[in-house]
Amino acid sequence: MTEYDLVVKDARVVTHDRDDARTADIAVSDGRIAAVGPGLAEGGARRVVDAGGRLAFPGVVDAHQHWGIYNPPAEDAVTESRACAQGGVTTALTYMRTGRYYLNKGGMYADFFPEVLEAASGRAHIDYGFHLAPISRGHIAEIPDLIERFGVTSFKVFMFYGSHGLHGRSADQNAFLMIPEDERYDYAHFEFVMRGVQAARERFPDLADEISLSLHCETAEIMTAYTKLVEEAGELTGLAAYSASRPQHSEGLAVSIASYLAHETGLPTVNLLHLSSRKAVDAAVRMSRAFPHIDFRREVTVGHLLADITTAHGVGGKVNPPLRPRDDVEALWEYVLDGTVDWVVSDHACCREEMKFGEPEDDVFLARAGFGGAEYLLPGVITEGTKRGLSLGRIAALTSWNPARRYGLRTKGALAPGFDADIALVDPGRTWTVRAAESESTQEYTPFEGFELTAQVTDTFLRGHHVLRAGKLVGEPVGGYLHRPTLGT
């Protein structure tokens, strides 16, 4: 008789390759799924958890977070990973760069990145990895070493940093990014980053499909001009003003420029991040038709799917790119439903009240950009997606399978034998109201305050460890750093 470490029995198991859930038990041995099927609990297990007919989703692979951007990374690794577990997120890929914010230092990643790893080590309640941004010329030369030595296979370009800082106009780009005075963070640099990533793909052919470049697609010059227009006109305030100051066609233009550069450099693995509008996704679709040899992946955030400029709870909803009018929200859902969108993320960036808001507090241009949301990722997509006809299997693909495949997380993303036993149990009939005070995040507000969701994560398992039980965090941190590609046994 086979004895398992854990059996989750009577679950409605959701997988990316089936529209509907199927009733089965999930058996776990040595942190991996050993079997999925009926009657496994009867074969013997050290521990049995009765799912009671709840949905069992693969643990969410949230491929876009920002630990350490506004708080010390060692603190975020604890608190924000706890918030992740509340939302069924078992893997977080978090963006990191040199310059202001994060560690507030420049220099080479060979010196910088070990500090990041040390800050997070032993503190996280979920597994985590990092994307890195080649900010300086020297970083491009480091790409092969970052892949081989540190297992970082994904990189990022922030296209709007040309004449913008993190929150608005920036007159001193070099000081903000902490790069040498004779360097510029501009389209030429983006081109050279693409050439560097492509050279790494050629150097490591066995990993080539899992080595990619992600782009934050907004155009600095358009944003700078429109910010001035909006401020001078004085007709708009709050999130409506911020959306108008970073208009939708700024995204579309940046997508088009980035796509042509990918074509020019021969880089086929390009991820277009947090597309927030119909114009942005339309540009992405047009570019995929123009350059069919480029394997574009298109990302949206749960924030842009749940909230708009009128329903978000105040200036706390400031984020880059901005929350948009309702027409854009519905357009994003159209693209989710027709398969154009590849994955959904949180873009989780915890920013406490004392740092988030300026003086006066209602001036959106003085507020910092970004907010948390990993707690609401899976419940939010289920709530809004199912009412629009989105299948459970498609939700599993959007939140777990698709990002795991792109980013070299070979042991993540599926409830199937051989994969990590990362499981989110969801009650699809539990209606609840979002309250920031109930989140494990240190962020004291949320733009989703008062939103009503109709699905709730009750239990989360990380490699078989029960980290969220009946809605409460339990146990010590068991999360670890993911050196990619993660390999099966």
Average pLDDT, the chain: 95
At 259 the pLDDT is: 98
Q: Is the pLDDT of residue 489 over 50?
A: no
What is the percent of the chain where pLDDT is above 90? 90
Question: Which of 176-180, 262-266, 299-303, 365-369 has the least mean pLDDT?
Answer: 176-180
Q: Which of 86, 61, 66, 88 is nearest to 77 (CA)?
A: 66
What distance in Å separates the CA atoms of residue 400 and residue 237, rounded to the nearest whole number? 37
- Specify the DSSP class assigned to residue 316: G
Mean pLDDT of 165-191: 79
Partners of 48 in the beta sheet? 7
How many C-alpha atoms does 12 have within 13 Å on its Cβ side? 13
pLDDT band at 287 (very low <50, low <70, confident <90, very high): very high
What distance in Å separates the CA atoms of residue 448 and residue 153, rounded to the nearest whole number? 33
- The answer to whether 262 touches 284, Cβ cutoff 8 Å, is no
At 428 the pLDDT is: 96
At 252 the pLDDT is: 98
Q: Is the pLDDT of residue 166 over 60?
A: no
Structural domains of the chain sorted by starting position, each given as residue range(s) with its CATH number in brackets: 59-413+430-449 (3.20.20.140)
pLDDT band at 177 (very low <50, low <70, confident <90, very high): confident
Q: Which of 446, 482, 487 is nearest to 86 (CA)?
A: 446
Q: Report pLDDT digits (tens) over 234-278.
A: 999 999 999 999 999 999 999 999 999 999 999 999 999 999 999
Q: Is the pLDDT of residue 484 over 70?
A: yes
At 42 the pLDDT is: 75
| Dihedral class, residue 88 (left if φ above 0, else alpha if ψ from -120 to 50, else beta) | left
Phi, psi of 230 (to 5 degrees): -65, -45
Mean pLDDT of 54-59: 98
- The answer to whether 6 touches 27, Cβ cutoff 8 Å, is yes
- Other C-beta atoms lying within 10 Å of the C-beta of residue 187: 14
Q: Which two tokens stand for residue 277?
A: 């509008």
Q: Which of 426, 487, 428 is nearest to 59 (CA)?
A: 426
Q: Report pLDDT digits (tens) over 72-116.
A: 999 999 999 999 999 999 999 999 999 988 999 999 999 999 999
- The answer to whether 85 touches 460, Cβ cutoff 8 Å, is yes
At 215 the pLDDT is: 98
